[in-house]
């Protein structure tokens, strides 16, 4: 298969960690008989330096012509970087918002995986985390409270603010379909999270999710209220496979789930649209404090590349090979500084990439 991949190396540690992820993609392609065509794309601060704007229309078109995009993080130190002297619409993060909108990326996927070897970094009790856990938070990204009408008005001399939470059945159906399709590639369980005891939008969410579930008889569906889900994530995270939820609930729950895994350098993510296209990036930022030092953890970006193989190219075997190589390197005791613990061997960004590539 020929994989057309757009690459946004980004700012700060972005170029370092993306280079390692490309190394892993190249090794995997080599091993399994695929070819990769990379298209270099500029976004964020790197684009401002060249074009004066964080994302040009030409770059958006070039991204659209690819099958998927791999991205490092963008942005700099807000206190010292000249990029933050520009008006907000010209700053690095504006590029991120524009590309998500232009590519219609409505589904955000954030895996929260606790590797048994990294249990020490998890703030939960040992008896809860024994054996690790592996869940996928699927968050609707373009609807709900963050995109509804809002206003602040004075009513009878009292300031009153309104935010509206709106979902239509089509928006719910498309993300539910994506969630069930992803569950089919995993342990075949969907936990749909809502607040159906209070909100109309949640009652519609539940109804549509049940309709979609009927098309996936192999997948077990359960409904959970969001307040209970917040508790269950710290009480029994092993029960979850795919958590499917709307925008604001997903915003909060995905941060909670990722923090119980302990390390930002391990957190992959993907944003998908209605086609197979996806934007794959680590959950963390551009870490300007450690940029250029060769010490950033490339694993989140490498695991994002594995998600790309699985979800944009349906190369499940290849994705598993990458994930297994990461697990093996961790089991062998190699660690970057952010996940270092006593008795382990500390390695830099490039060495971590080399070790993982060697295990593919
Ligand atoms: P950050 O995630 O960049 O850094 C927080 C801490 O985590 C830092 O100490 C950093 O060194 C560490 N860290 C992050 N990734 C790491 C890795 N791979 N290996 C080792 N350590 C790692 O968050 P921040 O400092 O709040 O933001 C820095 C910049 O990143 C800002 O400009 C922000 O806007 C941007 N940002 C971009 C994205 C994105 O591109 N999607 C996301 C979040 C933040």
Q: 24-45: buried (b, 16+ CB within 10 Å) or exposed (e) per residue?
A: bbebbbeeeebebeeeebbbbb
* Per-residue pLDDT tens over the stretch 235-253: 999 999 999 999 999 999 9
Closest CA relative to residue 21, chosen from 262, 299, 229: 299
CATH number of 123-260: 3.40.718.10
Q: Residue range 185-204: average pLDDT?
A: 97
C-alpha separations of 18 from 73, 76, 89, 217 in Å: 9, 17, 26, 39
- Ligand 1, from 55, 86, 286, 356: best to mutate by most atoms within 8 Å of Cβ? 286
The predicted structure's pLDDT at residue 97: 86
The 8-class DSSP code of residue 219 comes to: S
Gap between the Cα atoms of 33 and 27, Å rounded: 10
Nearest CA owner, ligand 1 atom 8 = 287
Instruction: Identify whether the C-beta of residue 326 lies closer than 8 Å to the C-beta of residue 356.
Output: yes
Q: Is 66 in the pocket of ligand 1 (CB under 6 A)?
A: no
Q: Do domains 1-109+267-360 and 123-260 have the same CATH topology?
A: yes
* Per-residue pLDDT tens over the stretch 13-55: 999 999 999 999 999 999 999 999 999 999 999 999 999 999 9
Q: Is 289 in the pocket of ligand 1 (CB under 6 A)?
A: yes
Q: To which H or E segment does residue 340 belong?
A: none
Q: Residue range 63-67: average pLDDT?
A: 97
Checking DSSP bridges between strand 150-155 and strand 158-163, what pairing results, if any? antiparallel
Q: Is 285 in the pocket of ligand 1 (CB under 6 A)?
A: yes
E runs forming strands in 101-208? 107-114, 133-140, 150-155, 158-163, 189-194
- Check if 328 is active-site: no
Domain range summary for the chain, segments of one domain joined by +: 1-109+267-360, 123-260
Q: Which CATH superfamily is domain 1-109+267-360 in?
A: Isopropylmalate Dehydrogenase (3.40.718.10)
Angle (CA) 260 7 1, round 5°: 100
Residue 211: how many CB atoms within 10 A of its CB? Answer: 13
Task: Assign 165 to helix, strand or coil.
Answer: coil
């Amino acid at each position: 298969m020929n994989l057309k991949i757009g690459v946004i190396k980004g700012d700060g540690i972005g170029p370092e960690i993306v280079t390692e992820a490309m190394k892993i993609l190249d090794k995997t392609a080599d091993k399994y008989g695929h070819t990769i065509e990379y298209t270099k794309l500029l976004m964020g601060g790197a684009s401002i330096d060249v074009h004066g704007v964080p994302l040009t229309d030409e770059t958006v078109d070039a991204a659209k012509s690819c099958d998927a995009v791999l991205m490092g993080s963008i942005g700099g130190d807000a206190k010292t970087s000249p990029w933050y002297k520009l008006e907000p619409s010209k700053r690095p993060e504006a590029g991120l918002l524009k590309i998500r909108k232009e590519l219609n990326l409505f589904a955000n996927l954030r895996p929260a995986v606790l590797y048994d070897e990294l249990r020490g970094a998890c703030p939960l009790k040992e008896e809860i985390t024994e054996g690790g856990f592996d869940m996928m938070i699927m968050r609707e990204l373009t609807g709900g409270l963050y995109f509804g009408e809002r206003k602040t008005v004075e009513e009878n001399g009292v300031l009153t603010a309104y935010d509206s939470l709106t979902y239509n059945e089509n928006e719910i159906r498309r993300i539910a379909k994506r969630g069930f399709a992803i569950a089919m590639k995993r342990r075949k369980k969907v936990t749909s999270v809502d607040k159906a005891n209070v909100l109309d939008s949640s009652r519609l969410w539940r109804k549509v999710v049940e309709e979609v579930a009927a098309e996936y008889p192999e997948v077990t569906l359960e409904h959970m209220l969001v307040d209970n889900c917040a508790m269950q994530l710290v009480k029994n995270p092993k029960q979850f496979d795919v958590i499917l939820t709307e925008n604001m609930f997903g915003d909060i729950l995905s941060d909670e789930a990722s923090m119980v895994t302990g390390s930002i350098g391990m957190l992959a993510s993907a944003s998908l649209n209605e086609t197979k296209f996806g934007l794959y990036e680590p959950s963390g930022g551009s870490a300007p404090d450690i940029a250029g030092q060769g010490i950033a953890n490339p694993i989140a970006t490498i695991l994002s590349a594995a998600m790309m193989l699985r979800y944009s190219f349906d190369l499940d075997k290849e994705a598993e090979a990458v994930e297994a190589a990461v697990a093996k390197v961790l089991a062998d005791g190699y660690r970057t500084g952010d996940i270092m613990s006593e008795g382990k061997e500390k390695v830099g960004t490039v060495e971590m990439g080399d070790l993982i590539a060697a295990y593919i």
